[in-house]
Structure 1
Amino acid sequence: MKIGALTAAWAGQPLEEVLDFFAGAGLRAVEIGTGNYPPNSHCDPAKLNADAAARKAFMKAIESRGMVLSALSCHGNPLHPNVKVAKSNHEVFVQTVQLAKKLGISEVNGFSGLPAGAPGDKTPNWVVAPWPEDHLAALEYQWGVAIAYWKEQNRFLEKHKVNMCFEMHPNFLVYNPESLIKLRNACGDRMCANFDPSHLFWQGIDP
């Protein structure tokens, strides 16, 4: 097992300085954000996909410090009811998967996304109660949207031999083991887990 960290909290510092800090602390793995919620200041997938020399330099910066790139991170909401937000988040996801394949990385981390509660709504709606029944209707609609999207992305992921690892996070459709397994069963084996036990503790779930 290698202990690592996500660079997003150090987005304002150069990648090399962050890697030096990680290596000095004894970390041996690094997860790097590629855009959406985590900034892409350390890894711009559009630029790296287009430049083999830049990809080589990127990996050298990590490996020369005795570290491995454990995953790329594109946490976002590709199911957002705002079409522009959804499209932008989806494009970053696609670019990240393409980059992962080129770098020889098999894991991309992110969120499941969260749709609106009904067609025409403008705000994502996190449903956590079964009553009144309106909420169950909203949840059924959301799962229809999510399954249609992620089933298509599972085929894309399979083509690239990359796993999409979902962080079970509040305010997203996949927020606990039950919802993660539901999505995986509906969409395919490329739907995996980015396991953060802190999100289970507050729900009273024993990790």
Structure 2
Amino acid sequence: MKLGMLTACLPSWSLKRVAGWAAKTGYERFEVAVWPGTGGRDFEAAHIDVARFDGRERERVQGLLRETGLAISALAYYENNLHPDLERRERIRTHLKHAIDAAQALGVPYVGTFIGRDPARSVPENQREAERVLPELVEYAGERDVKLIIENCVMEGWHPDGHPGNIAYSPELWEWMFSLGLYLNWDPSHLMWLGIDPLATIAPYAGRIVHAQAKDIELDLVARNRYGFFGTTAKNGDPWATGWWRYRVPGRGQVDWIRVVDRLYEAGFTGTLSVEHEDPLWGGTPEKVCQGLTIAHHTLRPLVVA
């Protein structure tokens, strides 16, 4: 197992700067954000321009890896592959293929994305649509010796009522997506607020957990008594406002990282445990984000054998 970090939390920094900081801090891998860089969300970082990836860009990235001793665990482009706007869906599909091509050129084994959802359709209806559109992408990746990995993020902000916006949120749905040739980028934080025991989901699906996210969560069960499971309806312009849970860096929430890492080792996991920083207390500026990443490193480094 290797300890890594997702670069999306530092969108204003260059890849060179992120890599230098990560290596100096003691991270071994990094999961590189490859959004087009046109979105408004903080995590839509573009640390490699996969749409214009050529030999010069490949040499630049490989030079950084040689210089820092880091390796890329995966390329990250988490978007809605079932977007109801078919033109936008096609743009997402095209960019995902660019990410796959760049991963092949760099020898990166995984590209991370979401299944997504059309919120106007039921989960079974979205499953049928996914069965129509996703196998072509799985095949495209497989021909290039790349695996598509799906994070089990609920993406509740993509649904107007806070319902799942990414239909990969439960082991029942993982079993279905595995049948399409997809793999899992396992994240315990999302399971926690859904009421699913993260530890119980490791051993049964160990063969498909090829990458893992290290994100913590803080649950306020008293607030849940007021808002209900799906969270507050008073979003005040923030579709991600929940009122009773918030994501934290590892060590500042309620995930039992000692047992999580131990169970991953027991299951034979040899991939990357990648810190995904979405902690509002340790955000807002690059300096605060780096402090949060340092807290995560201090929490996880003693657990992951160097």
Normalising by the smaller structure, the TM-score range is 0.7 to 0.9
Gaps in structure 2 of 5+ consecutive residues? 155-164, 199-306
Give the corresponding residue for 1:25. 25
Report % sequence identity: 27
In the TM superposition, 1:40-189 aligns within 5 A as 40-48=45-53, 51-118=54-121, 138-170=122-154, 171-185=165-179, 187-188=180-181
TM-score norm. by structure 2 comes to 0.57
Richer in strand (by share): 2
Q: Which has the higher contact order (CA 8 A, sep 6+)?
A: 2
Instruction: Report if the CA contact (8 A) 1:7-1:30 is conserved.
Output: yes
Q: Which amino acid aligns with 2:168?
A: V
Give the corresponding residue for 1:196. 187
**What are the Cα deviations for residues 5-50 of structure 1, in whole angstroms up to 9, with x where unaligned?**
01111010122111121112100100111116743531110221xx
* Partner SS for 1:114: coil
**What are the Cα deviations for residues 57-84 of structure 1, in whole angstroms up to 9, with x where unaligned?**
1121123111111100010012101122
- 1-structure distance, mates of 2:171, 2:59: 37
* Partner SS for 1:194: strand
* Partner SS for 2:63: helix
- 1-structure distance, mates of 2:197, 2:66: 35
- 2-structure distance, mates of 1:139, 1:173: 7
Q: CA RMSD in A?
A: 1.5
Aligned residue pairs, count = 183
Instruction: Report if the CA contact (8 A) 2:147-2:183 is conserved.
Output: yes
- How far off its partner does 1:113 sit? 1.4
Gaps in structure 1 of 5+ consecutive residues? 119-137
TM-score norm. by structure 1 comes to 0.83
* Partner SS for 1:43: coil
**What are the Cα deviations for residues 117-157 of structure 1, in whole angstroms up to 9, with x where unaligned?**
34xxxxxxxxxxxxxxxxxxx22211110111112222212
Instruction: Report if the CA contact (8 A) 2:82-2:126 is conserved.
Output: no
Instruction: Report if the CA contact (8 A) 1:79-1:115 is conserved.
Output: yes
